[in-house]
């Protein structure tokens, strides 16, 4: 396993191009595989997770051609998927497994869905439950874990009151709704990212939104064209990847970054508002709408962060950014407190435990709680370089590489390759932009 040594840096400077947005790439790949014709997906994510989705779609009969970051996916229409002779492997990707479960529930064949060791420990009951209510026959280990066996069937439309705020659960139900008779609706308890709704509209599905409720008309319901239509799409840069650089630049004075072509969908930008409220210097430039998604550049300058508490409805909108925020705690004036985020324990790793353990390795003062953690600010002392164990979790590896930039002495990130799950060139880009 590869190790990466991160040296302290004075500041970050230069321009940055991001990998394509991971969440959007998954959705475009799946819907392109259900559309009639060839969709050219440009600036498709380099993340291993999104390539797991492409592999699954290929195994289900879609034609997939990859040329650098342009991916051509040819589907045979919404009834065109074929049964895969082997188990579909979602790798490390929860989005692949949960969203595909929704699609597979509506097929006229049986599929097996599996994933790596981490994914096999993550809860799938949250999608098994609603998909069963729609009529699918799904079996999993202990009724909650992969491998999943999904016997697709004719689905009934339903209204689902989601017990948790999860874009993956919402998406699984909406995707199953494509194949159901009638109108399927989902009401979420708090807002989550809406890329599935936007992507479904782009491909021609009929979607309606009303506050926290989204409705989808089943393709056989007589409304709309009854099919999904292939189209060329540009994937914006991944804001959740940009966040590591925004965080680094914000705590290293004299930093000056320009991040190009970032996806700025309002259901993802809570992190920018939070950074701004803590005193970060971030400017959005050239904001434009692109195929339903907002895109722009971000200019980030060094500043001094105040810190503060993050809780309640903020959590689902910041869920992937919480590791970075916690690891920044020791660089803020007041520290960082995260509450109501027990969900972090069932991500790619138990992120609360991984954060607490590695922050302590660097000398931070941390209180670990069942639903979050409290990390003391600057006054508790400077971080020191340490050996970091990311537990195979990309966001933990990257968060601590950033924390290492302001520490005393070098930090070693074990199993640093795991960053490739979302950002294969992360360390290369960080080294290029860090001035030592
Ligand atoms: C995602 C939704 C979130 C997020 C994950 C990507 C998506 O998961 O953490 O990285 O693309 O829909 P949950 O729906 O489990 O909150």
What is the pLDDT tens value at each position of the chain, 436 positions in all?
899 999 999 999 999 999 999 999 999 999 999 999 999 999 999 999 999 999 999 999 999 999 999 999 999 999 999 999 999 999 999 999 999 999 999 999 999 999 999 999 999 999 999 999 999 999 999 999 999 999 999 999 999 999 999 999 999 999 999 999 999 999 999 999 999 999 999 999 999 999 999 999 998 776 667 899 999 999 999 999 999 999 999 999 999 999 999 999 999 999 999 999 999 999 999 999 999 999 999 999 999 999 999 999 999 999 999 999 999 999 999 999 999 999 999 999 999 999 999 999 999 999 999 999 999 999 999 999 999 999 999 999 999 999 999 999 999 999 999 999 999 999 999 999 999 8
CATH 3.65.10.10 in the chain is located at 4-20+236-435, 22-234
Neighbours of 76 (CB within 10 A): 16
Substitution site in 47, 50, 53, 95 for ligand 1 pocket (most atoms within 8 Å of beta carbon)? 95
> Residue with structure tokens 């394509």?
20
Residue of minimum CA distance from atom 13 in ligand 1? 166
Q: In what helix (H) or strand (E) does residue 315 lie, and over which residues does it extend?
A: helix 314-318
Residue of minimum CA distance from atom 11 in ligand 1? 23
- CATH number of this structure's domain 22-234, picked from the four choices 3.40.50.620, 3.65.10.10, 1.10.150.240, 2.70.160.11: 3.65.10.10
- The alpha carbon of 213 and the centre of ligand 1 are apart by a number of angstroms equal to 18
Position 222 scores a pLDDT of 65
- The alpha carbon of 320 and the centre of ligand 1 are apart by a number of angstroms equal to 8
Fold classification of 4-20+236-435 is UDP-n-acetylglucosamine1-carboxyvinyl-transferase; Chain (3.65.10)
- Cα–Cα dist 37/130, whole Å: 31
- The alpha carbon of 71 and the centre of ligand 1 are apart by a number of angstroms equal to 23
Position 224 scores a pLDDT of 64
Element counts in the chain: helices (H) and strands (E): 13, 26
CB 106 within 8 A of CB 155: yes
Dihedral angle over CA of 318, 323, 325, 330, nearest 10: 160
Contacts of 227 (CB under 8 A, 6+ apart): 35, 36, 77, 78, 204, 219
Tokens of 125: 């009951």
Position 223 scores a pLDDT of 61
Position 1 scores a pLDDT of 87
Which residues are annotated as catalytic? 320
Residue of minimum CA distance from atom 10 in ligand 1? 320
Residue of minimum CA distance from atom 15 in ligand 1? 166
Substitution site in 48, 94, 195 for ligand 1 pocket (most atoms within 8 Å of beta carbon)? 94
- The alpha carbon of 95 and the centre of ligand 1 are apart by a number of angstroms equal to 6
**What are the Cα distances from residue 23, in Å, to 20, 328, 330, 395?**
9, 24, 30, 15
- Cα–Cα dist 157/322, whole Å: 35
- The alpha carbon of 334 and the centre of ligand 1 are apart by a number of angstroms equal to 29
Residue of minimum CA distance from atom 4 in ligand 1? 320
Position 233 scores a pLDDT of 98
Substitution site in 20, 90, 99, 166 for ligand 1 pocket (most atoms within 8 Å of beta carbon)? 166
Instruction: Please give all residues whose beta carbon lies within 6 A of any atom in ligand 1, as ranges.
Output: 23, 95, 166-168, 171, 193, 319-320
């Amino acid at each position: 396993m590869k190790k990466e040594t991160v040296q302290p840096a004075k500041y970050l400077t230069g321009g940055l191009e991001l990998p394509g947005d991971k969440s959007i790439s998954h959705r475009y790949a799946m819907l392109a595989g259900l559309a009639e014709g060839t969709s050219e997906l440009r600036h498709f994510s380099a993340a291993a997770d999104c390539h797991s989705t492409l592999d699954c779609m290929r195994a289900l009969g879609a034609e997939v051609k990859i040329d650098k970051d342009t991916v051509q996916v040819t589907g045979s229409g919404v009834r065109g998927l074929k049964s895969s002779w082997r188990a579909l492997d979602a790798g490390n990707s929860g989005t692949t497994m949960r969203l595909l479960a929704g699609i597979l529930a509506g097929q006229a064949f049986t599929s097996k869905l599996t994933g790596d060791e981490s994914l096999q420990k993550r809860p799938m009951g949250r999608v098994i439950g609603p998909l069963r209510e729609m009529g699918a026959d799904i079996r999993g280990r202990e009724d909650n874990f992969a491998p999943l066996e999904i016997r697709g069937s004719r689905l009934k439309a339903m209204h689902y009151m989601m017990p948790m705020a999860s874009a993956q659960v919402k998406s699984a139900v909406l995707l199953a709704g494509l194949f159901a008779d009638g109108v399927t609706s989902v009401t979420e308890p708090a807002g989550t990212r809406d890329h599935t709704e936007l992507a479904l509209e782009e491909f021609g599905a009929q979607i309606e939104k009303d506050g926290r409720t989204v409705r989808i008309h089943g393709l056989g319901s007589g409304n709309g064209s009854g099919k999904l239509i292939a189209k060329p799409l540009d994937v914006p840069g991944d804001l959740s990847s940009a966040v590591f650089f925004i965080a680094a630049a914000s705590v290293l004075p004299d930093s000056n970054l320009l991040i190009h072509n970032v996806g700025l969908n309002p259901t993802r930008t809570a992190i920018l508002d939070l950074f701004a409220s803590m005193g970060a210097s971030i400017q959005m430039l050239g904001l434009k709408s692109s195929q339903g998604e907002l895109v722009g550049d971000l200019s980030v300058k060094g500043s001094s962060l105040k810190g503060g508490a993050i809780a309640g409805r903020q959590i689902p909108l910041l869920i992937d950014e919480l590791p970075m925020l916690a690891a920044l705690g020791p660089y803020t004036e007041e520290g960082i407190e995260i509450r109501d985020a027990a969900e972090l324990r069932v991500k790619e790793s138990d992120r609360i435990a991984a954060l607490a353990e590695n922050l302590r390795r660097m000398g931070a003062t941390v209180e670990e709680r069942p639903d979050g953690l409290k990390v003391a600010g600057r006054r508790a002392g400077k971080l020191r370089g340490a050996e970091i164990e990311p537990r195979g979790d990309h966001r933990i590896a990257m968060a601590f590489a950033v924390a290492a930039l302001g520490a005393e002495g070098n930090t070693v990130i074990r199993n640093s390759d795991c960053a490739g799950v979302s950002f294969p060139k992360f360390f290369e880009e960080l080294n290029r932009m860090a001035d030592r």
